[in-house]
Structure 1
Amino acid sequence: MTDLAERRGTETKVYQPAEDSHLLAEVAAEEIAGDELVLEVGTGSGYVSEYVAEETGARVVGADVNPHACANARERGVEAVRADLVSPFRDGAFDAVLFNPPYLPTDPDEERDDWMERALSGGESGREVIDPFLDAVGRVLAPGGRVFLLVSSLSGVEEVVSRAGENGFSAVALRDESFPFETLTILKLVR
């Protein structure tokens, strides 16, 4: 009983797979080869990392600032590291980086200080986590490395593409999926 209660408590602190997770996992698995080293930033439950590793044979490392997410991902068999974006990883280490960022625009006066809020809230613009990620991710990419970034129409795809360009990336939309209140786009960023 205690184990089940603990697991349920962890689930309320960890982003669980939804449409955005499934979209990123499917697109990334189509693009990644089995001999590649992949980093998933913001791994949450570990679903995307697990899916990509199983579908491709690639080694996938999941990273999350949330210790509950790291524990949840490890339960799925994901190699998980507690990290804020790409900060602890060495230069040029990864062939691909995946990220389903917190992207929901959120009124700062209505934000709560809890793990689920951090997993969802992209700040006022929806890009307050995306922008620092784009500023930093190039450092950990190997030559020829790619970034697979999920972006919502709520946070401004054009603004994200522009910021990526400022960091030396060109962007191509690999897939769009429309929902009642937003369109989700998977961007492939390359230098």
Structure 2
Amino acid sequence: MLPTPSTSHVSFDTVYEPAEDSFLLLDTLSSASEAAWLTDRFQTSKSSASPLVVEVGSGSGVVIAFTAANSKHIFGRDDILALAVDVNRDACQATKQTVQTAIAETGNANSTHYLSSLIGDLVSPLKPGSVDVLLFNPPYVPTPDLPLLPQPGQNETKPLSRSEKFEHDSYLLSLSYAGGVDGMETTNRFIEAIPSALNPDRGVAYLLLCAQNKPEEVKARIVRDWEGWSAETVGRSGMQAGWEKLVILRIYRSGT
């Protein structure tokens, strides 16, 4: 079993704590079947360019750190470039330390490179067509409203009263789970951005959904509306948790 990156340095008052959904992503990416699929797709003989792996909404950084630290097992190569994006400044800072520590502990520091943690909304900071592997564990819980995205400077440290700190921390945490109508408002925006974000030759996206997000309908919509694309279920949670049962979709161009 591959080691789970340490997140002991992370303050979970403001950053999403790794849970069943996070661990399902780790298990799926490192499973024998998925690692074989990714290794075939990114083997050096097919493409010499180092794959760019990006996690959107990185939170604690446990997923991108695990992927980067275990790149040889997952991709069959240890020269990947890792990048993270999150709207929460605290999450970006946590991710940076999580990834750097995990890479150093596995001895991958001279090959796999962690580029940065970018503060931004979904794929907005990324160059179109640049991403080889796009990972997203979205805010999928149905909620009456979506929290407003942080404005520049909003996450800067300043003295807060106890009640103000509680409200601020609760707001930052809500960014990681509040998904709006059907838990799909943010996820739908992400799905719409996939074709433009991915490398047109070898790009692939992994998206986590819960049962109430209607993953079968999501897959059908992609296959129906996007000519030449596939959407497949490649991971499932092994535990029943009511409507929160989880799946991982792999989304990619069928012809590549």
State the TM-score bracket (shorter-chain normalisation). Answer: 0.7 to 0.9
Are 1:108 and 2:145 matched, yes or no? yes
**Unpaired stretches in structure 1, ≥5 consecutive residues:** 1-6
Q: Secondary structure at the match of 2:202?
A: strand
- Find the aligned partners of 2:26 and 2:130 in 1 and give their Cα distance: 21
Partner of 2:25: 24
Residue 114 of structure 1 aligns to a residue whose secondary structure is: helix
1:130-169 equivalence runs, <5 A? 130-142=187-199, 143-165=201-223, 166-168=225-227, 169=229
Instruction: Quote the Cα distance in structure 1 between the aligned partners of 2:118 and 2:231.
Output: 28
Is the contact made by 2:141 and 2:180 (CA closer than 8 Å) also made in structure 1? yes
Per the alignment, residue 84 of structure 1 pairs with 121
Q: CA RMSD in A?
A: 2.4
Q: Which has the larger radius of gyration?
A: 2
Which residue of structure 1 lines up, in the alignment, with residue 241 of structure 2?
180
For 2:215, the aligned partner's letter is V
Tell me, in whole angstroms, the C-alpha distance in 1 between the residues paired with 2:220 and 2:208. 15
CA change 1:110–1:150 in 2 (3 A) is closer
Q: CA distance change for structure 1 residues 72 and 180 in 2, over 3 Å: closer, same or farther?
A: same
What TM-score does the superposition give when structure 1 sets the normalisation length?
Answer: 0.86
Sort the Cα spacing of 1:70 and 1:162 in 2 relative to 1 into closer, same or farther, 3 A: same
Distance verdict in 2 for CA 1:167–1:103, change over 3 Å:
farther
* Secondary structure at the counterpart of residue 144 of structure 1: coil
* Structure 2: runs of 5+ lacking an equivalent: 1-8, 43-49, 72-77, 101-113, 149-166
Look up the match of 1:4.
none
The letter for the 2-side match of 1:148 is Y
Name the TM-score, length of structure 2 as normaliser.
Answer: 0.66
Tell me the matched-pair count. Answer: 184
Q: What's the offset of the Cα at 1:159?
A: 3.0
Is the 1:43–1:73 contact (alpha carbons within 8 Å) kept by the matching residues of 2?
Answer: yes
1:3 aligns to what?
none
Distance in 2 separating the partners of 1:109 and 1:189: 25
**Alignment of 1:94 onto 2:131:** yes
**How big is the shift at 1:162?**
3.7
CA–CA distance in 1 between the matches of 2:140 and 2:171? 16
Instruction: Give the counterpart of 1:72 among 75, 87, 94.
Output: 94
1:106 Cα offset (Å): 1.2
